[in-house]
């Protein structure tokens, strides 16, 4: 069945031996879920499995992740663009153009990437940039695509150059070259693909090469959420979890969520556990303050790692300037983690500046950490 999909009527019938028996496409798993959305994943790389596992995390994702764009909160400009593109594509009976979503982790890139195919009524396959180490690892994803289907590649900026270049003709001409056999017997087969939509997600739009970036018809940046938007997400999710959440508690959790729905959801799940274990289960302001303090989350949402970053910059580098690598080595944390997960919120909170000479703290940092300047 899988092979028929790959052939698409183009495979040379007279060369059955060239149709690799142990091709990776055989390993397709189709985990259609109960709300009629079809998500296909493929075993093959630990990274992709990690991604699939992440998407399947019981509470934070199956219950809390919005299923439709209309259930999402905030990002109204991005939503408007997507609604128009989806509506027009449906009216034309065409697949959507390729979409690039960028922004810090936890802001909704994967959520959009799972809602868009539902709106279009098409299946989605999920892959991850670092998991696709060579063009041949991309072939099963491309050759199994159904017409109009969505291929989602997370962390697309981490695709190796060879894989990225292989994507170019797939994205533009909906064709790929497949090399069959080896050595003198090698032959190249030019395989036509059905028209599909690539959704790429990245935390570093700047790291994408120009040719790849230009092949996306829609490029949208997701920004941090307002406290009021996080309050809305929290109260909707408290209902989904069937817990009582007071308005004051919701405001406090939102303020400590760094403008990020993933943090808001994680805080909510922890505060719910705390309330059920230490109290009567109702999430009140004192309960949420105690629960978040226990996890080292301060009044503006900084966690221990954020404060360690700022304290290291002050203690070891006299407040800066310090290079990213120097900070990463000193803290024994990868520079990617610092750049993707720690710095965006510190920059936005004006607790950090990035100058040509390196990272620097600001007067606000001393004030927030209650460190005197002398
Ligand atoms: P990213 O892919 O950008 O890292 P996700 O899409 O995985 O982020 O979002 C993390 C979690 O935050 C999701 O499980 C979802 O529950 C929640 N979330 C993200 N964006 C929204 C939104 N706009 N409205 C409601 N919840 C959201």
Task: Name the pTM for this structure.
Answer: 0.83
- Map residue 156 onto helix, strand or coil: helix
213 and 275 share a domain?
no
Residues sharing a CB contact under 8 Å with residue 84, sequence separation 6 or more, in sequence order: none
Do 69 and 201 share a domain, yes or no?
A: yes
Residues 129 and 195 in one domain: yes
Range of the domain at 61: 49-221
Average confidence score pLDDT of the chain: 86
- C-beta of 267 in contact with ligand 1 (< 6 A): no
Q: Which helix (H) or strand (E) holds 100?
A: strand 99-102
Same domain, 275 and 130: no
Q: Which atom of ligand 1 is nearest to the CA of 236?
A: 25
Ligand 1 atom 5 nearest Cα:
108
- Is 169 noted as a catalytic residue in this protein? no
54 and 161 fall within a common domain: yes
Least confident of 5-19, 25-39, 49-63, 151-165: 5-19
CA of 335 to the centre of ligand 1 (A): 24
35, part of any domain: no
Report the number of distinct structural domains present in the chain.
3
Does some domain include residue 43?
A: no
Torsion angles phi and psi, residue 163, rounded to 5: -70, -40
Task: List helix spans (H) across the chain.
Answer: 2-7, 46-55, 76-92, 109-120, 135-143, 161-173, 210-214, 227-241, 247-255, 261-278, 285-294, 304-315, 324-331, 335-337, 343-348, 363-369
User: Are 188 and 333 within one domain?
Assistant: no
CA nearest to 259, candidates 325, 346, 176, 182: 346
What's the confidence (pLDDT) of residue 354? 96
Query: What DSSP designation does 37 have?
Result: -
> Is 1 among the domain residues?
no
- Token pair for 50: 């990690």
Which atom of ligand 1 is closest in space to residue 65's alpha carbon? Answer: 16
Q: Which of 68, 71, 106 to mutate to test the pocket of ligand 1 (most atoms within 8 A of CB)?
A: 106
The CA distance from 256 to 300, in Å, is 5
Q: Are residues 66 and 108 in the same domain?
A: yes
Residue 161 bears catalytic tag:
no
The token pair at 367 is: 């004030």
Residue 179, pLDDT score: 87
| Domain C-terminal end among 270, 294, 318 | 294
User: How confident is the model at residue 60, as a pLDDT?
Assistant: 63
Alpha carbon distance 241, 181 (integer Å): 54
Q: 213 in ligand 1 pocket by Cβ < 6 Å?
A: no
Please work out whether the CB of residue 61 comes within 6 Å of at least one atom of ligand 1.
yes
Residues 234 and 186 in one domain: no
Residue 83 and residue 181 share a domain: yes
Helix (H, G, I), strand (E, B) or coil at 357: coil
pLDDT digits (tens, 9 = 90+) for 154-208: 999 999 999 999 999 999 999 999 988 888 888 999 999 999 999 999 999 999 9
Mutation choice for ligand 1 from 261, 265, 267, 341, CB with most ligand atoms inside 8 A: 261
| The two three-digit tokens of residue 215, written as one number | 């092949």
Same domain, 163 and 209: yes
Q: Choose one of 52, 68, 74, 111 to mutate for the ligand 1 pocket test, by most ligand atoms within 8 angstroms of C-beta.
A: 111
- pLDDT band, very low/low/confident/very high, at 252 (cuts 50, 70, 90): very high
Element (H, E) at 150: strand 150-154
Q: Determine if residue 330 is left, alpha or beta; phi over 0 gives left, psi from -120 to 50 gives alpha, anything else beta.
A: alpha
> The CATH number of the domain where 361 resides is what?
1.10.10.10
Q: What is the dihedral of CA 236, 75, 218, 67, to 10 degrees?
A: 0
Q: Please indicate whether residue 110 is annotated as part of the active site.
A: yes
Tell me: do 209 and 237 sit in the same domain: no
């Amino acid at each position: 069945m899988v092979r028929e999909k790959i052939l698409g009527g183009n495979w040379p019938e007279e060369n059955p031996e060239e149709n690799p028996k142990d091709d990776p496409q055989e390993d397709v798993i189709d985990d259609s879920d109960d709300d009629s959305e079809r998500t296909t994943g493929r075993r093959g790389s630990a990274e992709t499995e990690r991604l699939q596992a992440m998407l399947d995390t019981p509470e934070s994702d199956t219950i809390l992740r919005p299923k439709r764009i209309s259930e999402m909160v905030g990002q109204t400009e991005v939503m408007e663009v997507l609604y128009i593109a989806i509506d027009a594509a449906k009216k034309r009976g065409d697949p959507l153009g390729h979409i690039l979503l960028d922004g810090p982790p936890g802001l909704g890139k994967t959520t959009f990437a799972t809602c868009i195919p539902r709106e279009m009524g098409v299946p989605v396959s999920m892959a991850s940039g670092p998991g696709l180490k060579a063009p041949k690892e991309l072939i099963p994803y491309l050759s199994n695509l159904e017409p109009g289907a969505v291929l989602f590649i997370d962390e697309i900026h981490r695709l190796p150059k060879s894989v990225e270049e292989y994507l170019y003709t797939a994205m533009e001409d909906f064709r790929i070259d497949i090399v069959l056999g080896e050595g003198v017997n090698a032959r190249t087969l030019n395989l036509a693909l059905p028209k599909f939509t690539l959704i790429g997600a990245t935390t570093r739009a700047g790291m994408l090469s120009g040719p790849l970036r230009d092949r996306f018809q829609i490029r949208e940046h997701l920004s941090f959420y307002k406290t009021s938007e996080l309050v809305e997400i929290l109260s909707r999710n408290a209902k989904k979890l069937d817990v009582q959440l007071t308005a004051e508690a919701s405001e406090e959790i939102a303020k400590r969520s760094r403008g990020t729905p993933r943090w808001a959801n994680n805080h909510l799940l922890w505060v719910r556990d705390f309330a059920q274990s230490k109290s009567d289960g109702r999430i009140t302001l004192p309960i949420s303050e105690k629960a978040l303090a226990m996890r080292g989350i301060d009044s503006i949402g900084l966690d221990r790692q954020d404060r360690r970053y700022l304290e290291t910059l002050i203690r070891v580098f006299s407040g800066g300037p310090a290079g990213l690598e120097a900070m990463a080595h000193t803290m024994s944390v990868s520079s990617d983690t610092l750049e993707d997960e720690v710095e965006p919120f510190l920059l936005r909170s004006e607790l950090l500046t990035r100058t040509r000479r390196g990272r620097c703290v600001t007067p606000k940092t001393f004030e927030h950490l209650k460190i005197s300047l002398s």
